[in-house]
Amino acid sequence: MSELSVNHLLGIKYITEDDIQLIFETADHFKEVINRSIKKVPSLRDITIANLFFENSTRTRLSFELAEKRLSADVINFSAASSSVKKGETLIDTVNNILSMKVDMVVMRHPNAGAGIFLSRHINASIVNAGDGAHEHPTQALLDCFSIREKLGDVAGKKVVIVGDILHSRVALSNIFALQKLGAKVKVCGPKTLIPKYINKLGVEVEGNLRKALEWCDVANMLRVQNERMDISYFPSTREYAQQFGLTKQLLNSLNKEIIVMHPGPINRGVEITSDVADSKQSIILDQVQNGVAIRMAVIYLLASKIKHHED
């Protein structure tokens, strides 16, 4: 197989295992490209991509922009904070205005779940979901699984625990879908208030004790506590959270095996993980960031290859 089954990347839920493997194989090639002295290929020189960020982001946005530029695409950036959205324009109007400038692909982050799916039904451009509310963040899950594959050789059969705020996390949901499609076993661990009720329906086990979860797993993906999405108090204090669900060097060293530690960033140092864990050799946090560019290049390249060229 050498073509994606979809025209948009709206979520991991909507793609197949073959799609994921194709993205990984393509990302392997791009990883080699971005380690050359000239880190750029001319493939997308006649493609224009709009990055629409209706929600704040640093690394995802930079990562997408770098991926697009390394593929030689023309890039326009938009952030809601400084735009006409504040003047009351609707999403479709905003996007249609941008598309009338002959844009081929849209990378969008939006605070509302399903924004990408909604848009894909109304506009004529390829859409990449860069995070929609608490729904999905597919490229993050792809780069997380790609990093596991790089470190452990394969994702199938590996045990992964996702720790922290599962309820508000699009990273958790996309990771669960991706890991399961690739044949990994997934558990989640966190305060009961931050574990969604439907979690068992996804075939995911819940573990309330961090030590037990770590003893079981090969990989621990430590999620950020998303204070900005919490309208009520879900746990008594940050200190208590850190004591129960924070990963310390002491805890890591007391395990009878070496596990891999991941974090999607940005890190609240001392809350989800302590500084010495984040900077330890078991942490692959910075590999994740580098792989993010290769994965996003692969996704954009494969989606762009489905936009047929018209002679006009």
What is the Cα–Cα distance from 144 to 171, expressed in whole angstroms? Answer: 9
Q: How far is the CB of 43 from another protein (least distance, A)?
A: 5
- Would you call 192 exposed, middle or buried from its count of C-beta atoms within 10 A (0-12, 13-18, 19+)? exposed
In the bound state with another protein, the residue whose beta carbon lies nearer, of 35 and 253, is: 35
- Residue 274 is a catalytic residue: no
| Residue 128 DSSP one-character state | E
- The tally of CA atoms less than 13 A away on the side-chain side of residue 28 is 8
Catalytic residue among 70, 137, 187, 224: 137
Q: Contact residues for another protein (CB under 8 A)?
A: 2-3, 25-26, 29, 32-33, 36-44, 46, 71, 301, 304-305, 307-309
Measured CA to CA, the distance from residue 304 to residue 290 in angstroms comes to 22
Q: Which is nearer to another protein, 3 or 17 (CB)?
A: 3
Q: Is 109 an annotated catalytic residue?
A: yes
Q: Which of 61, 109, 224, 263 is catalytic?
A: 109
Does residue 60 carry a catalytic annotation?
yes
Q: Which of 60, 170, 187, 274 does the annotation list as catalytic?
A: 60
Query: Which of 36, 58, 86, 87 is flagged as catalytic?
Result: 87
Q: Of 59, 69, 151, 159, which residue is the catalytic one? A: 59
Q: Hey, what are 35's tokens?
A: 């380690």
Name the strand (E) or helix (H) holding 205: strand 205-207
Separation between Cα atoms, residue 147 and residue 292, nearest integer Å: 9
41 or 199: CB nearest another protein: 41
Min. distance of Cβ 173 from another protein in angstroms?
Answer: 29
Q: Please, which residue, 42 or 88, has the CB nearer to another protein? A: 42
The label of the residue with tokens 């108090």 reads 233
Cα–Cα distance measured from residue 101 to residue 4, given in angstroms and rounded to the nearest whole number: 27
- For the bound state, the minimum distance from the C-beta of residue 28 to another protein, rounded and expressed in Å, comes to 8
Query: Considering Cα of 119, then 122, then 123, then 126, what sign does the dihedral take?
Result: positive
Q: Tell me how far, at minimum, the Cβ of 292 lies from another protein, in Å.
A: 19
> With respect to another protein, which residue has the nearer C-beta, 64 or 301?
301
User: Catalytic site residues?
Assistant: 59-60, 87, 109, 137
